[in-house]
Amino acid sequence: MGREAGVTTDALVIGGGPAGLAAAEMLAAEGLRVLLAEAKPSVGRKLLMAGKSGLNLTKEEEGFCAAFGTDWLAPMLALFGPAEARAWAEGLGQETFVGSTGRVFPRAMKASPLLRAWIGRLAGVEVRVRWRWRGWEGGAALFDTPEGEQRVEAGVTVLALGGASWARLGSDGAWAGVLAAEGVELAPFRPANMGFEVAWSPHMAAHFGSPVKGARLVAGAAESRGEFVVSARGLEGGGIYEVSAALRDGAPLVLDLLPEVPREEVEARLAKGGRESVGNRLRKRLGLGDVARALVMEFGRPLPEGAALAGVVKALPVTHAGPRPMDEAISVAGGVTRAAVDEGLMLRARPGVFVAGEMLDWEAPTGGYLLTGCLATGRWAGAHAARYLAQTQDVE
The DSSP result for 235-269, as a single string, is: EESHHHHHHHHHHHTTPPEEEES-TTS-HHHHHHH
In which residue ranges of the chain is pLDDT below 70?
1-5, 273-274, 395-396
CA distance 278 to 312: 12
pLDDT digit string (tens) for 182-236?
Answer: 999 999 999 999 999 999 999 999 999 999 999 999 999 999 999 999 999 999 9
**7-191+329-395: CATH class:** alpha beta
pLDDT value, residue 204: 97
Across the strands, what pairs with 191?
A: 332
Q: At what angle do helices 18-29 and 369-395 cross, to 10 degrees?
A: 40
pLDDT value, residue 5: 61
Domain boundaries, the chain: 7-191+329-395, 196-318
pLDDT value, residue 307: 77
Rg, Å, the chain Cα set:
24
Q: What is the largest CA-CA distance in the chain?
A: 89
> How many other CB atoms sit within 10 Å of the CB of residue 253?
22
Checking 100-105 for CB contacts under 8 A at 24+ apart, the result is 101/59, 101/367, 102/59, 102/60, 102/61, 103/56, 103/58, 103/59, 103/367, 103/368, 104/56, 104/57, 104/58, 104/59, 104/60, 104/368, 105/54, 105/55, 105/56, 105/57
CA distance 123 to 102: 33
Give the H/E segment covering residue 363. Answer: none
